[in-house]
């Protein structure tokens, strides 16, 4: 019985150590800046996930890297340049608004053209 209690205590203690939260920055503004960057950087080991949501070792190390760089006084643009230099441009989630508008308005444009075409063919009859 003592062995079972010891093993349960051992596993519970190790489990809580594994779930210990990451060390956050003391300055709330810097931590907010880091959190903003976490949402813009892809985890390269996860499929389409940003490093803020990822539990992988890669994401953990990138979050620590970003926090250290912010503590060293680097701004968002400088950190992004470092990430691109080390991992390539695909590390960042691109927020290209032109592509977004093309994806949204192209189907609407084709529906409108199709509607006009149908209306014109009905008038000819």
Can you spell out the DSSP letters for 61-110?
A: HHHHHHHHHHHTT--HHHHHHHHHHHH-GGGBPP--HHHHHHHHHHHHHH
Domain tally for the chain?
Answer: 2
Q: Are residues 34 and 50 in the same domain?
A: yes
Q: Specify if 8 maps to a domain.
A: no
Which pLDDT belongs to residue 19? Answer: 44
Evaluate whether 82 touches 69 at the Cβ level (below 8 Å): yes
Q: Are residues 77 and 118 in the same domain?
A: no
- Residue 52's nearest CA partner among 93, 5, 86, 8 is 93
CA 123, CA 125: separation in Å to the nearest integer? 5
- Residue-level pLDDT, tens digit, the chain, 125 residues: 666 665 556 556 554 444 446 777 777 888 889 889 988 898 888 877 888 888 888 989 999 999 999 999 999 999 999 999 998 888 888 755 566 677 778 888 888 898 888 888 887 66
Q: Specify if 76 maps to a domain.
A: yes
Q: Specify if 38 maps to a domain.
A: yes
């Amino acid at each position: 019985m003592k062995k079972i209690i010891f093993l349960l205590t051992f596993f519970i203690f190790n489990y809580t150590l594994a779930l210990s939260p990451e060390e956050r920055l003391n300055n709330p503004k810097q931590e907010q800046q880091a959190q903003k960057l976490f949402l813009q950087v892809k985890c390269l080991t996860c499929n389409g996930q940003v490093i803020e949501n990822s539990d992988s070792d890669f994401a953990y190390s990138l979050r620590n890297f970003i926090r250290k760089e912010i503590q060293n006084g680097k701004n968002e643009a400088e950190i992004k340049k470092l990430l691109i230099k080390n991992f390539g441009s695909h590390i960042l989630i691109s927020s290209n608004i032109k592509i977004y508008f093309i994806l949204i308005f192209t189907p609407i444009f084709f529906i409108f053209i199709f509607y006009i075409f149908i209306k014109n063919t009905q008038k000819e009859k």
